[in-house]
Amino acid sequence: MVKDTNNGYSHISVVKRLGLKLRQLTDGRHLVQVIYTQNGDIQDCEYVTQGKSARNFLKTLRKELKLALDEEIYRIANKQPKNIGDEKFYRHFGNVTFRILKDGDRLPPDISNWFDYDKLKMECLKRHEELQYMMKNKNKVGESSLARSRRSLRENFIVPGTKWCGAGHVAAKYGELGADVAEDRCCRSHDHCRFNIGMFKRRFGYFNYRPYTISHCRCDRRFRACLKLADTSVSNMVGKLFFNVVQTKCFILKPVKMCTQRSWWGKCLRRGYTKQAFLRDNLPY
C-alpha cells in the first residue's frame, strides 16, 4: 500500500500474513514500524528518529513498487492472466497489497482511522513504557502475570507455518519443525546462536533494553544467507520483518581493558581484557 500526501511527504507500507500485520509510516524524516497481533493489539514497535532509516525505507518501497508495476505492465502487454503459481511474482508480492491514490482522492475508510503519524508514534512509545514497567516491577506485577505476558508474546509472534520463526519458539523438542521446513531450519539455527543478549538482560558489558534478543552479527549474517537461499514468500517475509523492522541491530565483540579486581576501598588491584559488545547495523534484507 502506497500513499502520497500533498501536505508533506508520507508513504505507508502494509504487509499481512495469516493474522500477522506490519505497518510502516514515515513523515519523510522519522519512521514508525508497528507489528500487530491477530486481535489488533501492538505486539512490537519501533520509533526511529534517524533520517537515514526513513530514507532507506522510502528507497526500498519505491524499488518494490516499481518492480510490482513492471511485472504488471509486462503481464498486461503479453495478455497473461494472473497465475497463483507464478512464483517469481508471488514470492515478493503475494502478501502485499498496493493501492495508488490519485490527487484529490480520499483515503479509504479502513485506512483513514490509523493514518495518523503522531497517534501511531505515541502508541509505540506507550507500548515500550508498558514493557519496561513490567520488567522493572516484576515482583509487584507477579511472576504468573509476567509469565503469561511472555507466553503471549512468544505465541502471538510466531510466524504461521513455523515453530521457530518469531519471539522464541513453540517447538516441544529440537527436531520439531513447522510446515515451512526450510524457513524453520534457518530460524532454529539462529535461535541456537551461542553469542546473544536476551531481552532486558546484561551480557558482554551491554544491557539490552529491547523487548527481544539481539545476536552476534556473524549469526545474523548466516541467518540472512539461509533465508535468501530458501527464497520463498515465507522466507522473504521473515527476512524483511527480522532485518528491516525488528532486528535492525546486531553486535560484535571486541577486547576491552578494564578492572577485574578491586580493593575494599574501590581501588583497582588488577586489570585485564574482557569481551565488550558493540552494536552494529544489520544489512537490510
The CA-atom distances, in angstroms, between 264 and each of 92, 258, 267, 270 are 61, 17, 7, 13
Lowest mean pLDDT among 137-151, 233-247, 265-279: 137-151
Given a contact cutoff of 8 angstroms between Cβ atoms, the answer to whether 59 and 84 are in contact is: no
Q: Which residue among 180, 184, 191, 220 is the active-site one?
A: 220
C-alpha cell at 34: 508497528
C-alpha cell at 100: 495508488
In this model, does residue 143 exceed pLDDT 70? no
Identify the pLDDT of residue 204: 93
**Could you read off the pLDDT of 171-227 as tens digits, one per residue?**
889 999 988 899 999 999 999 999 999 888 899 999 887 777 899 999 999 999 999
Listed as own residue / partner, the contacts of 275-279 with beta carbons closer than 8 Å and 24 or more positions apart are 275/204, 275/205, 276/204, 276/205, 276/206, 277/197, 277/203, 277/204, 277/205, 277/206, 277/251, 277/252, 277/253, 278/206, 278/251, 278/252, 278/253, 278/254, 279/206, 279/214, 279/249, 279/250, 279/251
Catalytic residue at 220?
A: yes
Identify the pLDDT of residue 196: 94
For the chain, which residues make up each domain, given as ranges? 1-138, 179-285
Catalytic residue at 190?
A: yes
State the average pLDDT over residues 48-56.
79
State the average pLDDT over residues 29-40.
78
193 against 231, higher pLDDT: 193
16 against 80, higher pLDDT: 80
**Could you read off the pLDDT of 66-120 as tens digits, one per residue?**
877 777 677 767 766 555 445 454 445 555 566 667 777 777 776 776 777 788 8
Q: Which residue among 180, 190, 191, 216 is the active-site one?
A: 190
State the average pLDDT over residues 139-165.
59
Cα–chain-centroid distance for residue 52? 17
Identify the pLDDT of residue 278: 94
CATH superfamily of 179-285: Phospholipase A2 domain (1.20.90.10)
144 against 264, higher pLDDT: 264
Neighbours of 183 (CB within 10 A): 27
Upper half-sphere CA count for residue 221 (Cβ side, 13 Å): 7
pTM summary value? 0.57
Identify the pLDDT of residue 139: 53
Q: Report the alpha-carbon distance of residue 22 to residue 33 in Å, rounded.
A: 7
The band of 264, judged by pLDDT with boundaries at 50, 70 and 90, is confident
In this model, does residue 164 exceed pLDDT 60? yes
| Strand stretches in the chain, DSSP E | 11-17, 20-26, 31-36, 42-48, 196-197, 201-203, 206-208, 214-215, 249-262, 268-281
Lowest mean pLDDT among 3-7, 62-66, 155-159: 3-7
The band of 134, judged by pLDDT with boundaries at 50, 70 and 90, is low
pLDDT averaged over every residue in the chain: 75
In this model, does residue 58 exceed pLDDT 80? yes
Identify the pLDDT of residue 7: 32
